[in-house]
């Protein structure tokens, strides 16, 4: 029998790509996806019982309360989901590989191109909970935390990625004001999935950054997407974060990924170069091709 690897957040964007790519990139493992319908990760007794019954040999923890606005509105809920649930899973996985998906939101965004040794200074609740969770995970030297920033993809429900959010807003007839002075390093979900499977195979624990090789403004990201999503045509406006009054947003979360790149069998792409090299659209646009 194959060893079992649990994928939490299997109904989420990255979790969905992890599950559908398991047979391709991790044929030695039996991937078991966990969604909220299977277990509430904040239910300590339920999680312990499930772990005892499945007896996994590895866990890739993708589940989180990841909407920044929701975290700001309910910090206690954010802490239960992002910190306490993660720490509990890491404790239960003390003797097996554990990979935790963290976030570049642990940084304040003042400089960009952050490396793993840079000081983390979160400016919002989401980033703070991710940083606290990281510390709980990395207290075990055999565990891993991977910081990501902005993930492109197509989910089964059409409501899990920033690309889907933009497309839905455009189809409703509204315009999208995209900040030209806020920078990210987006990456397709299929690339993240392949990288996580390779990390599991190598079992090289520690802290890693995983983002695209291009630093792009929100406006540049929208321009890159427009040819692939016709509904965005004439709906995009270039804006500025100056005067923004919503949840705190770091200005520049570009990540230096040299550390993880040394371990991977493939080059981490830039967002625009990825789009330019893909010949098909739709859901497959964000999956990692076989060739």
What are the extents of the domains in the chain? 4-286
CATH for the 4-286 domain, from 3.30.470.10, 2.40.160.20, 3.10.310.10, 3.40.50.720:
3.40.50.720
Alpha carbons within 13 angstroms on the beta-carbon side of residue 266 total 21
DSSP assignment, residue 80?
I
Residue-level pLDDT at 245? 87
CA–CA distance, 104 with 241 (Å, rounded to integer): 18
> Is 0.85 topped by the overall pTM?
yes
CA–CA distance, 50 with 133 (Å, rounded to integer): 21
Q: Check whether 65 has a pLDDT greater than 80.
A: yes
Instruction: Answer for the pair 106, 147: CB distance below 8 angstroms, yes or no.
Output: yes
CA–CA distance, 112 with 270 (Å, rounded to integer): 16
Residue-level pLDDT at 142? 97
Tens digit of each residue's pLDDT (9 = 90 or more) over 160-185? 899 999 999 999 988 999 999 999 99
pLDDT band at 231 (very low <50, low <70, confident <90, very high): very high
Torsional class of 55: left (φ above 0), alpha (ψ -120 to 50), beta (otherwise): left
Closest CA to 249 of 109, 63, 59, 96: 109
246 Cβ neighbours under 8 A, 6+ residues apart? 69
Whole-angstrom CA distances from 228 to 34, 149, 177 are 32, 21, 19
CA–CA distance, 183 with 65 (Å, rounded to integer): 22
Tens digit of each residue's pLDDT (9 = 90 or more) over 183-208? 999 999 999 999 999 999 999 999 99
Q: What percent of the chain has pLDDT over 70?
A: 98
Question: In whole numbers, what is the pLDDT of the chain averaged over residues?
Answer: 95
Q: What percent of the chain has pLDDT over 90?
A: 90
Whole-angstrom CA distances from 77 to 84, 106, 129 are 10, 18, 10
Tens digit of each residue's pLDDT (9 = 90 or more) over 7-50? 999 999 999 999 999 999 999 999 999 999 999 999 999 999 99
Residue-level pLDDT at 21? 96
CA–CA distance, 170 with 211 (Å, rounded to integer): 26
Cα angle at 42 between 198 and 247, to 5 degrees? Answer: 80
- Helices 162-171 and 218-225 meet at what angle, rounded to 10? 70
């Amino acid at each position: 029998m194959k060893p079992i690897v649990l994928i939490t957040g299997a109904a989420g964007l990255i979790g969905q790509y992890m599950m559908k790519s398991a047979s391709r990139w991790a044929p030695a493992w039996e991937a078991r996806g966990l969604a909220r319908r299977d277990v509430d990760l904040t239910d300590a007794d339920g999680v312990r019982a499930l772990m005892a019954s499945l007896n996994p040999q590895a866990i890739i923890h993708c589940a989180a309360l990841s909407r920044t606005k929701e975290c700001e509105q309910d910090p206690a809920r954010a802490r239960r989901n992002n910190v306490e649930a993660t720490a509990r899973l890491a404790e239960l996985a003390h003797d097996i590989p554990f990979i935790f998906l963290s976030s570049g939101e642990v940084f304040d965004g003042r400089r960009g191109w952050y490396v793993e040794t840079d000081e983390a200074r979160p400016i919002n609740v989401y980033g703070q909970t991710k940083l606290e969770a990281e510390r709980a995970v990395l207290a075990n030297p055999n565990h891993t935390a991977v910081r990501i920033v902005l993930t492109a993809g197509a989910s089964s429900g059409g409501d899990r990625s920033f690309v889907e959010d933009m497309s839905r807003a455009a189809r409703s007839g509204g315009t999208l004001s995209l900040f030209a002075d806020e920078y990210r390093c987006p990456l397709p979900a299929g690339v993240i999935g392949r990288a996580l499977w390779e990390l599991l195979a190598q079992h090289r624990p520690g802290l890693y950054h995983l983002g695209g090789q291009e630093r792009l403004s929100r406006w540049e990201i929208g321009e890159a997407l427009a040819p692939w999503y016709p509904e965005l045509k004439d709906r995009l406006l270039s804006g500025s974060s100056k005067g923004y009054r919503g949840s705190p947003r770091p200005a520049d979360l570009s990540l230096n990924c040299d550390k993880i790149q040394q371990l991977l069998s493939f080059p981490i792409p830039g967002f625009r170069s990825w789009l330019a090299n893909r010949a098909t659209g739709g859901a497959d646009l964000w999956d990692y091709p076989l060739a």
